[in-house]
Amino acid sequence: MKEIEPWGVNVPFLLLGLAYWCAGGVSLFEGLAFHPLFMMIGTYSIYFGMFQRLFFPARNYLPLHLASLVLLAVPVYPLQAFASVSLVGVEVWGVKDIRSYGTRFPVNWLVLSSPVASVVAWLLYPLDVWVLVVPLLLYLLGVNVGVFSATLGLKPKFGWRQFPVLDMVVLTGVLPSLFPALVVAYTVWLFLGTRRFKFNLTALLSLLTPVVASISSLSLGEEIHAFALGMMAPFFFSCITYSTSRYNYGRTVPVPVLLLSSYLLRSFDLWFSSLLFILSTLYFIYMTKDNFTLTTVRSGMASKYVRPPH
């Protein structure tokens, strides 16, 4: 068996994502039409980076890692679809390697189906920006099964048990009005079979924020922002902090609160809502700052975990 040598594939993708979020924010207040595209490219950059970091971070996948990074970074249709094809290539190559090692692992169909869904979604993007939500939902709902299982003691559900959620995600892609039902159903589904619940305030707030935001969207509207501020950002920030800077996870309690407030206030005061999103993002960056280093790029680990040579 060849030794797996990881690298910090998530770092350049996170930096690209944050840069595009900044560009998306500027375009919003300048009245430019690029806001949805820039925000989605930023979000997909974070998704691509964390997908590869958590599941396929080996250096031998570097050519496809870089191909997806470069293609995703150019805001020209349909290069993001080609970037997604590179991500599928990483997944296929990685799964093939894992099987060759004789390793068995629980299959997370929600996560593993997201790259193929990303190809389809980016090809269909000119029809409706909402289609880009589907792959993100698949990844976020799937990867956080592990996070909530670890932090709240919920029974992990993999394999065929994920199919009802997967089906609802696809339906939500066709009917955005089903988003609140999906979020509530997913939350109930997570708790099924749990015998001993562990209290973790950060995790609990991260889980309840999408419930409140999605239900509020029934009256406030803007399902896309209920998703972005109420689920996407809290779930990403929670998962990234837990997986890369776990020592700070308990200190990120303000993040889901700020993000939920950002969505609830968006219809009333766009400037203040944006400020809350910026504050939550800056606080998240501060909590995970040990991952934005050359040490992390070289080793794939937060610099706090890597002892300097003596």
In the chain, what are the domain boundaries?
A: 10-301
pLDDT at residue 310 in the model: 44
pLDDT digits (tens, 9 = 90+) for 237-259: 999 999 999 999 999 999 999 99
pTM of the model: 0.96
Cα separation, 172 vs 182, in Å, equals 7
The encoded tokens of residue 242 equal 């837990």
Q: Max CA-CA distance within the chain? A: 60
Band of pLDDT at residue 139, cut at 50, 70 and 90 = very high
Across residues 203-209, what is the average pLDDT? Answer: 98
pLDDT at residue 40 in the model: 99
Across residues 215-244, what is the average pLDDT? Answer: 97
Contacts of 100 (CB under 8 A, 6+ apart): none
Range in 46-50, 95-99, 181-185 with the lowest mean pLDDT: 95-99
Across residues 146-156, what is the average pLDDT? Answer: 97
For residue 74, CA distances in Å to 77, 80, 123, 192 come to: 9, 8, 15, 43
Range in 26-40, 46-60, 92-106, 139-153 with the lowest mean pLDDT: 92-106
Write the DSSP symbol of residue 232: I
pLDDT at residue 105 in the model: 78
CB 161 within 8 A of CB 189: no
Whether the pLDDT of residue 1 is over 60: the answer is no
Band of pLDDT at residue 308, cut at 50, 70 and 90 = low
- pLDDT-above-70 percentage for the chain: 97
**Average pLDDT of every residue of the chain:** 95
pLDDT digits (tens, 9 = 90+) for 81-133: 999 999 999 999 999 988 887 767 789 999 999 999 999 999 999 999 999 99
Across residues 8-25, what is the average pLDDT? Answer: 98
Other Cβ atoms closer than 10 A to 269: 11
pLDDT digits (tens, 9 = 90+) for 248-307: 999 999 999 999 999 999 999 999 999 999 999 999 999 999 999 999 999 888 888 875
